[in-house]
Structure 1
Amino acid sequence: MTLKDFLNEKDIFAANAGMELVEVREGYSRAVMTVGKSHLNAGGVCQGGALFTLADLALAAVMNSHGQLTLSIESTITFLHSAVEGDVLTAEATETCNHHKIPYCEVKICNQDNKLICKFTAIAYRKKTDFKFDALM
């Protein structure tokens, strides 16, 4: 099974929220979701937790793309613009520092008009445990 298929199947929370990894390369990934009614907060815009989950899915692919189990230890999100129902959001994650123990990643989420909705940064802990998959995609 590929890493992309594994995370799309096993990250049940993200899958149930309508999120999907569409591209995974070593040190890069892209995940998408369409904002639906179930993603809206009381203010009528996309709930921050939905944006965080989309970024976190892309992060998981990037951090684990090297074949070692890697888990987030700190994440920060900055909301720049609101996303609304019907927006198609794309999270692009890039590994900024591929440190052997504490890698660092940046994720940008943009809408269909390439408007930057939020930025997400994270550090993770890379364990000495192999994360086995057949290929990235």
Structure 2
Amino acid sequence: MTIQEFLQGDKFALLAGVELLEAGNGYAKARMEIKPEHLNGGGVCQGGAIFTLADLAFAAATNSHARLTFSITSNINFFKSESKGFLYAEAREAFSHKRLANCEVRITNEAGELIATFNGTGYRKDTELPFKPLE
């Protein structure tokens, strides 16, 4: 099994149209095409959809060590709205330890403009995942 196959278990992210593009040691990149079902009442991409994109990138980066890691806290800051095109989430672990991991995620549009930032802390359980740690 690969980390991509493992994360297929995240049915909510799949339903939202989030796809994992890259994954490495403490790193991940995901994208989501903004569709009409992602728009809020103001006609722009709903914050929860952007959070879901960032959260999947966070999950891939923090679980890349093949130990089950769950978010224990996360926050997001929105800077710019979008209503069409693709959004990208690039996650990098800022801190990685036996039990705790902290990850910073930048969400950008197709032009590379910053849309939002996400910061999450994860708790690593003793559960080994069914793939080799990524290098």
**How many residues in Structure 1 have an aligned counterpart in Structure 2?**
135
Does the alignment pair 1:30 with 2:29? yes
Quote the residue 1:19 is aligned against. 18
What TM-score does the superposition give when structure 1 sets the normalisation length? 0.94
- Choose from 93, 104, 113 the match for 2:102: 104
**Cα distance 1:5–1:135, how it changes in 2: closer, same or farther (>3 A)?**
farther
- Choose from 103, 124, 127 the match for 2:125: 127
Percent identity of paired positions between Structure 1 and Structure 2: 50
CA distance in 1, matches of 2:127, 2:11: 22
SS in 2 for 1:83: coil
What TM-score does the superposition give when structure 2 sets the normalisation length? 0.95
* Aligned CA-pair RMSD: 1.4
Q: Which segments of 5 or more consecutive residues in structure 2 lack a partner in the other structure?
A: none
Shift of 1:5: 2.3
Q: Which runs of 4+ in 1 moved over 2 A?
A: none
How far does the alpha carbon of each residue in 1:88-107 deviate from its partner, in whole angstroms, 9 at most, with x for none? 11100000001211110000
Quote the residue 1:4 is aligned against. 4
Quote the residue 1:91 is aligned against. 89
CA distance in 2, matches of 1:31, 1:45: 20
CA distance in 2, matches of 1:82, 1:99: 34
Does the alignment pair 1:116 with 2:118? no
Q: Which segments of 5 or more consecutive residues in structure 1 lack a partner in the other structure?
A: none
Aligned partners of 1:2 and 1:135 also within 8 Å:
no
SS in 1 for 2:21: strand
CA distance in 1, matches of 2:69, 2:88: 22
Aligned partners of 1:102 and 1:125 also within 8 Å:
yes
Shift of 1:84: 1.1
Q: Which has the higher strand share?
A: 2
